[in-house]
Amino acid sequence: MSRKYDAKTLAAAAQLLYEIFMRRLGKGWCWLVLLLPLAAAAQIDPVKRDLIQFGYNQPLEGQSPLAAYAFYYHNDPEFLRTNQTLRLALAPVYLDSELGFNHALGANTDFAVGLAGGGFADSYNEVDAGNFIKAESFNGDGGEISTSIYHLINPGDLIPLNFLLRGTAHYSAYERNDTTAKNFQVPNNDTSYSVRTGLRWGGIEPTLFPALAMEVSIWYEGYFRANPCTYGFDHDRAVEPSAHQFWSAAALSYTLPDSQQNFFAQLVGGTTVNADRLSAYRIGGFLPLVAEYPLTLPGYYFHEFSARQCVLLDTSYLLPIAPNQRWNLNFNAATAVIDYLPGTGQAGSSDSGAGAGILYRAPSDQFRWMVSYEYGFNAIRDGERGASSITFLLQIDLEKPHGRRFNPSQPDRWRGWNWLVGR
- What are the tens digits of pLDDT across the range 98-152? 999 999 999 999 999 999 988 888 999 999 999 999 999 999 999 999 999 999 9
- pLDDT of residue 30 exceeding 70, the answer is no
* Average of per-residue pLDDT across 281-298: 92
- pLDDT of residue 248 exceeding 60, the answer is yes
Residue 181 carries which DSSP code?
Answer: -
97 and 116 in contact (C-beta within 8 Å)?
A: yes
Read off the pLDDT band of 81 (50, 70, 90): confident
* Average of per-residue pLDDT across 366-377: 96
pLDDT one-digit tens code per residue, 305-319: 999 999 999 999 999
Structure-model confidence comparison of residues 50 and 364, the more confident one:
50
* Average of per-residue pLDDT across 346-354: 95
**What pLDDT does residue 28 have?**
32
**What pLDDT does residue 204 have?**
86
- pLDDT of residue 7 exceeding 70, the answer is no
68 and 130 in contact (C-beta within 8 Å)?
A: no
CA 191, CA 171: separation in Å to the nearest integer? 4
**What pLDDT does residue 416 have?**
39
Domain at 7-420: CATH code: 2.40.160.50
H or E element in which residue 76 lies: strand 68-76
**What pLDDT does residue 119 have?**
85
353 and 377 in contact (C-beta within 8 Å)?
A: yes
**What pLDDT does residue 92 have?**
74
**What pLDDT does residue 253 have?**
95
* Average of per-residue pLDDT across 229-249: 97
Cβ neighbours of 142 (radius 10 Å): 23
* Average of per-residue pLDDT across 360-388: 94
Q: Report the mean per-residue pLDDT for the chain.
A: 85
- pLDDT of residue 262 exceeding 50, the answer is yes
- pLDDT of residue 158 exceeding 60, the answer is yes
**What pLDDT does residue 111 have?**
97
pLDDT one-digit tens code per residue, 339-348: 999 989 899 9
* Average of per-residue pLDDT across 43-64: 88
**What pLDDT does residue 26 have?**
40
Question: CA 73, 77, 80, 83: dihedral to nearest 10 degrees?
Answer: 140
Structure-model confidence comparison of residues 170 and 16, the more confident one:
170
- Residue 285's beta-bridge partner residues? 297
**What pLDDT does residue 37 have?**
38
- pLDDT of residue 207 exceeding 70, the answer is yes
**What pLDDT does residue 29 have?**
27
- pLDDT of residue 223 exceeding 60, the answer is yes
**What pLDDT does residue 312 have?**
98
Residue 208, C-beta contacts closer than 8 angstroms, at least 6 positions apart: 288, 289, 359, 368, 370, 393, 395
